[in-house]
């Protein structure tokens, strides 16, 4: 399962890159608005920073024709742009208009299996079922991903499934069990997956004990070779 970040925050992206786990980025108009930056400047910076991995940027028109036009414009920005289209009648029409143009697409705001079937049948590059937002509204989110993955493998769709709208590490584990191709995470969830107070406490103990080891000052200088000790 590939890990994407669901953010437009440069510092968060840099931290995830440093950990070597970042394989792509998703954004939406709300995420972009949070940064308060000129859109094209921000989009360019994101594409450069995350390259060669994909960056999803969302269209904001309400008509299929308008969405397709915005999709063509924004995908010309960089090779790794993926255009997010809403999974509604106009979004599906936009997907159809873009067919054969080489524009990569991410059909977003998926809350039902039937929407996922249509988006995959329409040839979306990615689809994004929204787990957290379903569960916020009292529905079961994980069943949606499970159903989509079963249908995906039964019909061998080429679309990749991005489990989106994630609230905590437990959801990430459950999503991984479904075989979803990708999970997109807020940075806070990624950090929670890694941080563990037991790791911190036990590391402190190791490092305190290290202070009692003779010759520790020379331990990592790389000056001694095995042949010098006769091996």
State how far the Cα of 27 lies from the Cα of 90, in Å rounded to an integer: 20
Q: Minimum CB separation from ligand E4P for residue 136, in Å?
A: 7
Is-catalytic flag, 84? Answer: yes
Other CB atoms within 10 A of residue 42 CB: 17
State how far the Cα of 11 lies from the Cα of 83, in Å rounded to an integer: 23
Catalytic residue among 15, 17, 37, 84: 84
Nearer to ligand E4P, 46 or 156 (CB): 46
Nearer to ligand E4P, 109 or 149 (CB): 109
Nearer to ligand E4P, 3 or 31 (CB): 31
Nearer to ligand E4P, 98 or 182 (CB): 182
State how far the Cα of 3 lies from the Cα of 163, in Å rounded to an integer: 10
Q: Minimum CB separation from ligand E4P for residue 34, in Å?
A: 11
State how far the Cα of 30 lies from the Cα of 27, in Å rounded to an integer: 8
Spatial neighbors of 13 by CB under 8 A, at least 6 apart, are 5, 7, 22, 25, 46, 49, 50
Q: Minimum CB separation from ligand E4P for residue 78, in Å?
A: 18
Residues found near ligand E4P in the complex (CB under 6 A) = 6, 26, 28, 31, 108, 128, 130, 132-133, 164-165, 184
Q: Minimum CB separation from ligand E4P for residue 160, in Å?
A: 13
Active site residues: 84
């Amino acid at each position: 399962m590939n890990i994407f970040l669901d953010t437009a925050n440069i510092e968060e992206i840099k931290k995830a890159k440093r950990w070597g786990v970042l394989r792509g980025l998703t954004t939406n108009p709300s995420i972009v608005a949070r940064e308060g930056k000129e859109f094209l400047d921000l989009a360019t910076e994101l594409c450069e920073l995350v390259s060669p991995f994909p960056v999803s940027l969302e269209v904001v028109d309400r008509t299929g024709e308008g969405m397709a036009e915005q999709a063509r414009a924004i995908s010309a920005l960089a090779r790794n742009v993926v255009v997010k289209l809403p999974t509604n009648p106009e979004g599906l029409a936009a997907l159809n208009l873009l067919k054969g143009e080489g524009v990569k697409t991410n059909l977003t705001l998926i809350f039902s299996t039937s929407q996922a079937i249509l988006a995959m049948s329409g040839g979306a590059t990615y689809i994004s079922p929204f787990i957290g937002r379903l569960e916020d509204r009292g529905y079961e989110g994980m069943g949606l991903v499970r159903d989509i993955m079963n249908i995906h493998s039964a019909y061998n769709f080429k679309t990749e499934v991005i489990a989106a709208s994630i609230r905590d590490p437990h959801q990430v584990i459950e999503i991984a069990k479904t075989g979803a191709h990708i999970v997109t995470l807020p940075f806070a969830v990624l950090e929670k997956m890694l941080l563990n107070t037991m790791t911190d406490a036990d590391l402190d103990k190791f490092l305190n004990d290290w202070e009692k080891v003779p010759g520790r000052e020379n331990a990592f200088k790389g000056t001694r070779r095995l042949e010098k000790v006769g091996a």
